[in-house]
Structure 1
Amino acid sequence: MQHDDVIWQVIRHNHCSYMAKIATGIFCRNPYNVTGICNRSSCPLANSRYATIRDHEGVFYVYMKTIERAHMPNKLWERVKLPRNYEKALEVIDKHLEYWPKLLVHKIKQRLTKMTQYRIRMRKLQLKVREKIMTVPRKEKKREARREEKAERAARIDNNIQQELVERLKKGVYPGEIVNIPEKLYNEVVEMEGLKPSPEEEEEEEEEEGYDELEEEEDMEDFGGFPTDELLEDDEYGGMDEDDEQNKRRKRAGSDVEGNDDKADRQRAEV
């Protein structure tokens, strides 16, 4: 048998897993609690006859338990679905809780009112288009901060180099070639300040251009041009004539050898 007073004494004065004590009061985290407050009339564990309302995937249900089902934990709570219409839901509550304590019925109706209000607010918020809040990991934040610091340092260095270059160009520190200075940065500084190179630099550039032109002219003189069709034909016929002369020489040499052999045979016959 279930003894409500004994259960309440143990829960209230010893230990309860659902109890939450804070500065403003004592609350209950049990999902079946109708008010969320830890007291004798609202405790679902210390009342053998109890009812509440719960939300399951957007649908409201009335949960009721009685002392007759206390020996069957799997069938302890009887569930009744409530219609979406608020007035009809109140009629269903009055019908099923007709002989229940009036205070408990009043709390259930208050809970239904609050749940209906927050369901309406949820629908309105879903219809509104709002920015989605995304969480950023800590490591990513730190990495981005380090990259920003490095970029700022690099920008400061570039600005310092530009200022130093401008000052040196104005003082005429670089009469000749610039060494160990980025060429791109130097050109940007020159264009930004509208500075012109010194006359010595212009003379050196002109000398280099003249020297390059002379080298190109000498290369063009040494180059005889591409071979024409006539020259190619002459080369072919010339090669053929040389081959004919060599063949003739070989034939003459062979005939001379044969003539000498005949003379030797004749002398032997006469002897």
Structure 2
Amino acid sequence: MQSDDIIWDVINKNFCSFKTTFNKTKFCKNEYNVTGVCNKVSCPLANSRYATVREEEGVCYLYMKTVERAHTPNRLWEKIKLDPNFMKAIEQIDSHLEFWPGHMSHRVKQRYIRITQYLIRMRKMRKQIKRELVPIKKKAERRDATRENKALIAAHLTTNIKKELLERLNKGTYADMHYFPEDIINNVLEKEGEADQFSEEEADENEEEGEEEMEEEFEDDIDDIEDAGGAFEYVEGDDDEDDIDDEYENEPYQDDDEEDDDDDDDDDEEVKPQITKKRGPTFKPTKKTPQKRVHMEVEIEEETENQAN
């Protein structure tokens, strides 16, 4: 009823659902295979006496198959839980596979070692800090920012209104028009006055500290200069004023009366029977001199008519 050779001939030469090939090498996808290679020794279907190790939720189990269970497929594999201690688990494998072939027990131990190694790596990876990518909702952030700005504006408004009302109470603009008892109003005004005094005292202290620091720095600078043997020397800056005076002396000066006389003479000489034309303002060409002022002479001619009869 159970012939391992016939089963292997059918599986090897014909189709097997667990067989795959990769780079001209045959592999087995059966979960009970010890080595993962498709051959007669490692095939769990073509061997009536077979053993392997499997891991379920971090716990290792030893599975054994014998000929006596071949007629009951639901009880074909005997499941034995292995101890979490490595050495004790190896002893369990040796005790249960004592009368089995040596190559079978050796392969079972190798598989158990590989499983324990990747379980240890899994535990280490769980302890490490993992980076999680969290999606950012831009709309929600923008909404929160606008709400914060509105709240800040409202807070500033309330503080300004409070200050304005307190100032009006201090000035007595409302007189007896308020609806609160005078004791409460006086207490509030006293607290505000104490706060203002405290802030003024702090400002005065800061100013005094700043002045003291400036004086200390000035004294330190004077001490450094005295130690270096230097002295202060003040130099009067009169050179610039002398230069300006020289420039004004070199410039030609002309009185307004002389200009008026010249204009009258020109008018007498240029009287003609015809209507004369106006000449616009003329500018004398100036040479490139270091003088700062530019002198302009304007000649105006009046229209005259010939009254000869």
**What TM-score do you get using the length of structure 1 for normalisation?**
0.48
The structure that is helix-richer by fraction is 1
**What TM-score do you get using the length of structure 2 for normalisation?**
0.43
